[in-house]
């Protein structure tokens, strides 16, 4: 039987707070490190999962972040 692994509640709360305060880059780093250390993923896979997570749950904030980073 396959057991689904999700993020712990405190991690989702932390990510939500960081993203809503405009610190999406820090939230991405936190999530990336969590995937590498706790799920023991390789760096490439962790980066892919991080990108997919933000595309799924914070798409509008991610778009705003990308637009701001292009302008600077």
Distances, alpha carbon 40 to alpha carbons 5, 15, 45, in Å: 13, 20, 10
Question: Which one is predicted more confidently, 37 or 1?
Answer: 37
Q: Which pTM value belongs to this model?
A: 0.87
- Whole-angstrom Cα distance, residue 69 to residue 18? 17
- Whole-angstrom Cα distance, residue 69 to residue 64? 9
Pick from 29, 39, 48: nearest CA to 4: 39
Residues 6+ apart with CB under 8 A from 35: 41, 45, 46, 49, 50
Question: Which segments of 1-72 are extended strands (E)?
Answer: none
pLDDT, one tens digit per residue, over 4-59 is 678 999 999 999 999 999 999 999 999 999 999 999 999 999 999 999 999 999 99
């Amino acid at each position: 039987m396959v057991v689904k692994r999700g993020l712990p509640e405190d991690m989702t709360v932390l990510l939500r707070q960081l993203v809503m305060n405009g610190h999406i880059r820090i939230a991405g780093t936190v999530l990336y490190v969590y995937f590498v250390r706790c799920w023991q993923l390789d760096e490439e896979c962790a980066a892919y999962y991080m990108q997919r997570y933000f595309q799924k749950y914070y798409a509008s904030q991610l778009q705003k972040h990308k637009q701001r980073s292009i302008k600077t």
